[in-house]
Each structure stands twice: as structure tokens, then as C-alpha cells.
Amino acid sequence: MHKLVILVEPLDDEQAFDDIWPHFLHLSERMPGLQREATCRVEDVLYGRYQLAFIHELYFESAAAIQAAMISPDGQAAGELLQKMTAGRMTLLIADHKEDELENIRKYHQPANSDDRTRRA
């Protein structure tokens, strides 16, 4: 699975962004191949050089599906609106998305052997 990640920097007029956001969703949710989406409002940046206010992720089967969605009429219209509503203060990424459940991850954890820790020290 791949996702199109939209990182939005802090904006001068967040209310205007919020007012236009449903129109963006209307367009982006009609892009062919979209499987699901997720939205996050950034509450705090704990560390790093980037200041972000908002993250939106659009999930697709593959990177090729993202490219096809972006060149579709709805994808083009969504991109134009996103550019306008953020005044270009955003970053777009295509990411290969991997996900696992903690229960499954724990199956592969082995208890640390105290003898191994002693030998390494």
C-alpha cells in the first residue's frame, strides 16, 4: 500500500482553510483508486526543523495508483484547490506504507537472555 501524504505548514488564516477543507475532501475523495484517508491536526512539534499544522493521508494500492489519481480531473482540481488554500505552504510526499498490529509484532520478540547481556558488556 502507498499513501499520498500532505503536510501543511501553519497558515495565517486557519479559519479560511477550515472553511475550504470540505471542498477539498469532496474532490480528493472522488479520485480513482482511493482506499481510505486519515487526517491529523498537529498539536505540538516535539523536535525537528519543520513546523506543521495539519497532516492528511490518502491511501492507494500502489504508487502508480497515486500517480493515476493525481492526473485525473478530480485529482487535478483537488491539487489546484490545495495549492490555493495553503498558498503553497505544504509538502506532498508519496510513501510506501507498512503497518502491523502490536499483537503480531510481539510474536517475534524474544525475552532478553541475561547471559547474552553479560557477555556483551
Could you report the per-residue pLDDT of 50-64, keeping only the tens digit for each? 899 999 999 999 999
- DSSP per-residue string spanning 40-104: EE-----SSS---SEEEEEEES-HHHHHHHHHSHHHHHHHHHHHHHHTT-EEEEEEE-----HHH
Reference 5, options 90, 100, 65, 101; nearest CA is: 90
Task: Over range 12-36, report the average pLDDT.
Answer: 95
Every domain of the chain and the residues it spans: 2-120
**Owner of C-alpha cell 497515486:** 66
CATH of span 2-120? 3.30.70.100
pLDDT at 20: 95
Whole-model pTM: value is: 0.81
